Amino acid sequence: MRIVAALGGNALLKRGETPDAEIQEHHILRAVEALAPLSRAHDLVITHGNGPQVGLLALESDADPALSRAYPLDALGAQTQGMIGYWLAQALHNAVPARSFVALVCQTVVGADDPALAHPSKFVGQVYSKTQAERLARERNWEVRPDGSSWRRVVPSPMPREIVELSVIRQLLDAGTGVICAGGGGIPVVREDDGRLRGIEAVVDKDRTAALLAESVGADALLLLTDVAAVEVGYGTPSARAMRHTSVEELRGHEFSAGSMGPKVQAACDFVQATGHMAAIGLLEDAEALLTGSTGTVIQALPPSTAAPARSGSRPAT
């Protein structure tokens, strides 16, 4: 099988942890323990978030104008792909020496006509006072917006349309190499009228990119790996209920939090709808069990009543 596994940002850094290299390398080892069995048996593509990493680099790059002007988001995103890609490739090499693994620097094309480009919505970087924020907006042509009691920069979050390095990714997978790519949703670029690529100041949602990647490489399964065991309906309410085997149709009938589960559910549904193959959302450490459907939320094209369950006993006998 060919599998795309997307690691959530907290696969590398837990909320509240200092973003030290050593801490992240420790988490990477744990992530790779979960991914190693998959990479032994399957063609594996790994993609990953980069929120805390790009946040740190943005802060550092912006701290001292005497050193350099603050770097744009495309360059900072590329830096995080290099670093996280290195950590993952090395840990996978150590865990599964029989396979080769490589991390690619990856660009994601978004539409120059995407309406999101005119409506920045994604908070990035540090918090400012209103006065500071307004000064930066003037000086740097930023959009800024209140975030609670402070102000922050906002950038567009357009939809991914194309992965520039796709043919290389497919070729490597065909030859049995495990590929780490499109980290942080890919470096955001637009394609000019003459076909030239140009980096932009934006953030592409990594789960949407993972779905596009999975569809584009012809994956049999998309695994969205995070720190919750399953998608819940009524999350945070007394009637909360984990969804185990479900369908695009059923999921589309519910609302999920825009900040966390919403994009994952949408990405999973898009992939399943486009391909007829399965997607699953659940714990990183359950990666192998998610694939067999024995845990987590497993999404298939047909509703559970018509789809063959992955194992017997997964629903109560009638």
Work out which of 15, 16, 21, 148 binds a second copy, going by CB under 8 A. 21
**Interstrand relation of 122-128 and 197-199 (parallel, antiparallel or unpaired):** unpaired
CB of 147 to a second copy, least distance (A): 19
First to last CA, the chain: 33
Work out which of 187, 211, 281, 298 binds a second copy, going by CB under 8 A. 187
Work out which of 171, 252, 255, 302 binds a second copy, going by CB under 8 A. 171
Evaluate whether 104 touches 168 at the Cβ level (below 8 Å): yes
Any contact of residue 9 with a second copy (CB under 8 A)? no
Using the minimum distance from each CB to a second copy, give the nearer residue, 24 or 275: 24
By CB under 8 A, the count of residues binding a second copy is: 55
Exposure letters 209-235 (e unless 16+ CB within 10 A, then b): bbbbbbbbbebebbbbbbebebbbbeb
**Interstrand relation of 160-163 and 107-110 (parallel, antiparallel or unpaired):** antiparallel
Using the minimum distance from each CB to a second copy, give the nearer residue, 37 or 199: 199
Work out which of 20, 26, 146, 258 binds a second copy, going by CB under 8 A. 20
Question: Is 206 annotated in the active site?
Answer: yes
Question: Is 122 annotated in the active site?
Answer: yes
Exposure letters 281-302 (e unless 16+ CB within 10 A, then b): bbbbebbbbbbebebbbbbbbe
CB of 14 to a second copy, least distance (A): 14
State the catalytic residue, choosing from 184, 186, 206, 282. 206
Any contact of residue 302 with a second copy (CB under 8 A)? no
Question: Is 14 annotated in the active site?
Answer: no
Question: Is 9 annotated in the active site?
Answer: yes
Exposure letters 51-79 (e unless 16+ CB within 10 A, then b): bbbbbbbbeebbeeeeeeebbebbebbbb
The C-alpha atoms of residue 150 and residue 95 are separated, in whole angstroms, by 44
Give whole-number Cα distances, 41 to 36, 61, 95, 98, in Å.
9, 41, 13, 11
Question: Is 264 annotated in the active site?
Answer: yes
Which span sits near a second copy by CB under 8 A: 108-116, 146-154, 171-179, 263-271?
171-179
Binding mask 29-68 for a second copy (x = CB under 8 A): ---------------------------xx-xxx-xx--xx
Residues with Cβ within 8 Å of 69's Cβ and at least 6 positions away in sequence, in order, are: none
Binding positions for a second copy, 86-145, rule CB under 8 A: 86-87, 89-90, 93-94, 97, 100, 102-105, 107
CB of 154 to a second copy, least distance (A): 21
Q: What is the set of active-site residues?
A: 9-10, 122, 206, 264
